[in-house]
Amino acid sequence: MFLSELPSKQKAKIIKIINKASEEDYLSHFGIKSGAIVSIERRTLFGSTLKILVNGKYLMLRKKEAQLIEIEKVL
């Protein structure tokens, strides 16, 4: 499944990022890389922007970009 589909407050592990290498590099600067544990903390009214928690940091990310991040739920 993809990060954009993850219900709020649920933890998941990033498996891979389906993106151009340059963008993957950009995301990894923020700690968004395979293996990292991520959760969605908040969505805006129309759900177009997400506030996520990764590596103890809060980041904002667009739904569009979250659709490219493949994850698996962590129980």
User: Contact residues for another protein (CB under 8 A)?
Assistant: 23, 26-27, 29-30, 32, 41-46, 48-49, 51, 55-62, 65
Q: Are the CB atoms for 26 and 59 separated by under 8 Å?
A: no
Query: 62 vs 73, which CB is nearer to another protein?
Result: 62
Q: How far is the CB of 1 from another protein (least distance, A)?
A: 20
Query: Cβ 65 to another protein, closest distance in Å?
Result: 6
Measured in whole angstroms, the distance separating CA 38 from the mean position of its chain's CA atoms is 6
Q: In sequence order, what are the residues at sequence separation of 6 or more whose Cβ sits closer than 8 angstroms to the Cβ of residue 63?
A: 4, 47, 48, 49, 50
CB of 14 to another protein, least distance (A): 14
